Amino acid sequence: MTSDEMTSGIDTIHQSYLADRRIRRIWKFVILLMTLTFGVWTVDVLNIPIERVLRMFGPLATMVTERLMPPDLYYVMEPLILASILETIEMSVLGVVGGLLIAMPMAWLGAWNVTPNRNFIYPMARAVIVVARAVPTLMWAILLVAIFGFGPFAGTLALLKSTIGFAGKLMAEQVEAIDMERVDAVRATGANEIQVFFYGILPQVKPAWVGISIYSWDSGFRGSTILGFVGAGGMGLYLRAQISVMEYHTAMGLITAVIGLVILSEALSHYLRHKLY
């Protein structure tokens, strides 16, 4: 190749590159314009007056500086509140333990590589997990309260659902990542499906499942703190009551307590996970 040929070759590439860049720029501009139009349209659909957005900072600042601060932590120390906190913890433990007892078999049945039946059991188990994840827990709790009445029983059942969705998915993912040769080795001894599960699958996923279980409790506990909002037991009841009567300092005390407990539960689950591995 002579140097002239090379130069003209570069020229062609350069021209086509610049042309492409021009087209890309036009596209970017069009997309930007469409995004902006879409943004304006959404504000219209949501019916949010702009002047309300502009005027919101004052009230927000007042809320933070005057109404929320300082949190009233003495309120949290009242026996009634402490009892509700205990009830929250109990609910979370029961709901999560129960949920895990259902999630584990669901994870086994809903894992493509080991499911005993791919045409019927697998899709059923998957559907249970997917639906349990998709139905909002708080609404589920409201439905349960309507059926079973106020109290922590409804809350426990709500947590049961969210644990099945949460842990079921993660556990099934773990099962799908196992070493199938070890499973087949157990199967080759003539073991039935249940035995295959206990000797071929469970030993492989046990550490991961333990971690997921602890994680589920952590997440379940977070969820349980607000179930009382809809009458499904626990401390959320008082939080809602305090906010609705505009007792913001006590409400903030409860929120502080929730945050403290959540951080504590996270630390505990972190500790347990590290200790158990």
Partner 1 sequence: MSDAARVENPLRPGRVILRRYAAYLAATLAVLAMAQQIIVAETDWARMGSAAELLREAAAFLPNLAFMPEVLFPLLETLLMALWGTAMAVALSIPIAYLAAKNISPFYPLAYGFGRGVIVLSRSTHEIIFALLFVSALGLGPLPGILALGCRSVGFMAKTTAEAIENVIPGPIEAIEATGAGPIKVFLFGVVPQVFPIWVGNVIFQLDINLRRASILGLVGAGGIGLMFAEKMQMLEYDKAGSVVLGITAMVIVGEYFSNRIRTRLI
Partner 2 sequence: MALLEISQIRKTYATGEVALRGVDISLNGEEVVAVLGLSGSGKSTLLRCINRLVEPDSGTVMLDGVNITKLNKSALRKARRNMGMIFQEFNLVERLTVLENVLSGTLGSSGTLRSIFRAFKPEDVKRGMALCARVGIIDHIRKRADQLSGGQRQRVGIARALMQRPKILLVDEPTSSLDPKIGAEVMDLMSSISKEDGIPMLISVHDVQLAKKYSDRIVGLQNGLKIFDDRTATVDSESLDRIYDMAS
Calpha distance 277→274 (Å, rounded): 6
From partner 2, partner 1, none, interface partner of 222 (C-beta below 5 to 8 A by class): partner 1
- Rule CB under 8 A: say whether 48 interacts with partner 2: no
- Rule CB under 8 A: say whether 56 interacts with partner 1: yes
Rounded CA Rg of the chain: 28
- Rule CB under 8 A: say whether 272 interacts with partner 1: no
Candidates 3-11, 17-25, 201-209, 252-260: pick the segment binding partner 1 (CB under 8 A): 252-260
Residue 231 CB, nearest approach to partner 2 (Å): 51
Q: Which of 1, 192, 246, 277 binds partner 1 (CB under 8 A)?
A: 246
Calpha distance 160→93 (Å, rounded): 10
- Rule CB under 8 A: say whether 22 interacts with partner 2: no
From partner 1, partner 2, none, interface partner of 6 (C-beta below 5 to 8 A by class): partner 2
Cβ proximity to partner 1, 201 vs 254, nearer residue: 254
Residue 48 CB, nearest approach to partner 1 (Å): 5
- Rule CB under 8 A: say whether 93 interacts with partner 1: yes
Q: Alpha-carbon torsion 144, 219, 199, 116, what sign?
A: positive
Residue 34 CB, nearest approach to partner 2 (Å): 19
Candidates 2-10, 37-45, 157-165, 170-178: pick the segment binding partner 2 (CB under 8 A): 2-10
Calpha distance 223→231 (Å, rounded): 14
- Rule CB under 8 A: say whether 64 interacts with partner 2: no
Residue 3 CB, nearest approach to partner 1 (Å): 27
Q: Which of 2, 4, 8, 9 binds partner 2 (CB under 8 A)?
A: 9
- Rule CB under 8 A: say whether 222 interacts with partner 1: yes
- Rule CB under 8 A: say whether 10 interacts with partner 2: yes
Matching residue, tokens 């099962």: 175
* List of residues contacting partner 2 (CB under 8 A): 6-7, 9-11, 13-14, 17-18, 21
